[in-house]
Amino acid sequence: MREPRLTVRLFAPVDEEAAIALWEACGLVRPWNDPRRDIALKLAFQPELFFVGETDGALAATCMAGYEGHRGWINYLAVRPDLRGRGLGRAMMAHAEAALGARGCPKINLQVRRGNEAALAFYARLGFRDDDLVSLGKRLDGRTGCPASPAKRDKTF
């Protein structure tokens, strides 16, 4: 079987349904995250850092990057499950890293859900390390956030 050739380009509105289907296939969509809203927010802020990868004319990968002047961030890095292990995720990250580096970004942060050992191993192979930090979040839009992890539910602050 030949290795897929990946073409990376900017996300276009016509990619929305395919991107959401990919994210669902990769387990990235959660009830508290509306992917259409996430896309709309990204298109309103730094749309030039929202990339898709195509193989044979079909969407095969996505990556949302962002830079606020201090750190870069990666969200929605996804590769079609049947094409994993062929360098597409690495290529998408290299593209995002180059785009962030061109903006003077000194460091990239990303978040991985607990228990996603495959993603942790992938990012470790790319040189990412555990920063020994706790990720905190607070909703400002009035929507309910994600549920607390089971390990944290019984703690009182």
pLDDT in tens, 74-128: 999 999 999 999 999 999 999 999 999 999 999 999 999 889 999 999 999 999 9
User: Which segments of the chain are extended strands (E)?
Assistant: 7-10, 50-55, 58-67, 72-79, 108-110
For the chain, how many structural domains are there in total?
1
Domain-embedded: residue 114? yes
Domain-embedded: residue 26? yes
pLDDT in tens, 114-143: 899 999 999 999 999 999 988 888 888 877
CATH label of the domain that carries residue 109: 3.40.630.30
H or E element: which one contains 101? helix 88-102
Domain-embedded: residue 79? yes
Domain-embedded: residue 134? no
Domain-embedded: residue 118? yes
Which range of residues forms the domain containing residue 84?
A: 7-125
Domain-embedded: residue 71? yes
Domain-embedded: residue 138? no
